[in-house]
Amino acid sequence: MMFNWLQKLGSRVLLRLSSLGAALVMLLQSLLVLPGPRGWQRLTQQLYVVGVQSFIIIFVSAGFIGMVLGLQGYTLLVDYGSEQAVGQMVALTLVRELAPVVAALLFAGRAGSALTAELGLMKATEQLASLEMFGVDPLHRIVAPRFIAGLISLPILVIIFNLVGVYGGHLVAVEWLGVHSGAYWGNMQAAVDFSDDVMNGLIKALVFATLVTWTALYQGYTCVPTSQGISEATTRTVVYSSLMILGFDFILTALMFGGL
Amino acid sequence: MSQTNLIEVRDLSFARAERLIFDKLNISIRRGRVTAIMGPSGCGKTTLLRLIGGQLQPAQGQVCVFDEDLSKLSRDRLTSLRSRMGVLFQSGALFTDLDVFENVAFPLREHSSLSEDELRDQVLLQLEAVGLRGARHLMPSELSGGMSRRVALARAIAMGPELILYDEPFAGQDPIAMAVLQRLIRALNDQMQLTSVLVSHDVAEACAIADEVILLGRGNLLAQGAPEELLNSNDPMVRQFMHGHADGAIPFHFPAPDLMTELRTESGRNQARSSGVVEAVELN
- pLDDT, tens digit (0-9, with 9 covering 90-100), for B103-141: 999 988 888 888 899 999 999 998 998 888 999 999 999
- pLDDT, tens digit (0-9, with 9 covering 90-100), for A110-139: 999 999 999 999 999 889 988 888 888 888
Same domain, B280 and B214: no
| Domain residue limits at B260 | 253-284
Contact map slice: B 229-258 vs A, CB within 8 A: none
Burial of A32 (0-12, 13-18, 19+ CB in 10 A): exposed
Query: For the domain that residue B108 is a member of, what is the CATH number?
Result: 3.40.50.300
A113-124 vs A200-222: helix axis angle to the nearest 10? 20
Average pLDDT of chain A, as a whole number: 92
Q: How confident is the model over A157-172, as a mean pLDDT?
A: 96
The whole-angstrom distance between A119's CA and the closest CA on chain B is 12
Same domain, B46 and B142: yes
- pLDDT, tens digit (0-9, with 9 covering 90-100), for A57-109: 999 999 999 999 999 999 999 999 888 999 999 999 999 999 999 999 999 99
CA quadruple B213, B94, B158, B65: dihedral, nearest 10: -40
The whole-angstrom distance between A131's CA and the closest CA on chain B is 9
Number of domains in chain B: 2
CB distance B162 to B84 below 8 Å: yes
Can you tell me the distance from the alpha carbon of B192 to that of A91, in angstroms, rounded to the nearest whole number?
70
Tell me which chain A residues have a C-beta less than 8 angstroms from the C-beta of B96.
122, 125, 127
Tell me which chain A residues have a C-beta less than 8 angstroms from the C-beta of B53.
133
pLDDT for B283 equals 45
CA quadruple B42, B44, B46, B51: dihedral, nearest 10: 160
pLDDT for B281 equals 46
> Which residue in chain B is spatially nearest to A135 when comparing CA positions?
B79
Least confident range of A25-39, A41-55, A62-76: A25-39
Share of chain A above pLDDT 70, in %: 99
Does ipTM exceed 0.85?
no
Same domain, B274 and B235: no
pLDDT-derived band at A167, boundaries 50, 70, 90 = very high
Same domain, B237 and B261: no
Ranges of chain B whose pLDDT falls below 70? 1-3, 247-252, 266-284
Same domain, B203 and B270: no
Contact map slice: A 91-130 vs B, CB within 8 A: 122, 125-127, 129-130
pLDDT for A259 equals 65
Per DSSP, B113 falls in state: -
Same domain, B281 and B233: no
Question: In chain A, what are the domain boundaries?
Answer: 38-257
The whole-angstrom distance between B182's CA and the closest CA on chain A is 22
Same domain, B131 and B217: yes
Same domain, B57 and B158: yes
Contact map slice: B 18-57 vs A, CB within 8 A: 50, 53, 55
> Which residue in chain B is spatially nearest to A125 when comparing CA positions?
B93
Contacts of B182 (CB under 8 A, 6+ apart): B170, B205, B208, B209
Evaluate if residue A179 carries a pLDDT over 50.
yes
Same domain, B24 and B105: yes
Same domain, B105 and B164: yes
Can you tell me the distance from the alpha carbon of B178 to that of B185, in angstroms, rounded to the nearest whole number?
11
Same domain, B72 and B140: yes
pLDDT-derived band at A172, boundaries 50, 70, 90 = very high
Same domain, B145 and B227: yes
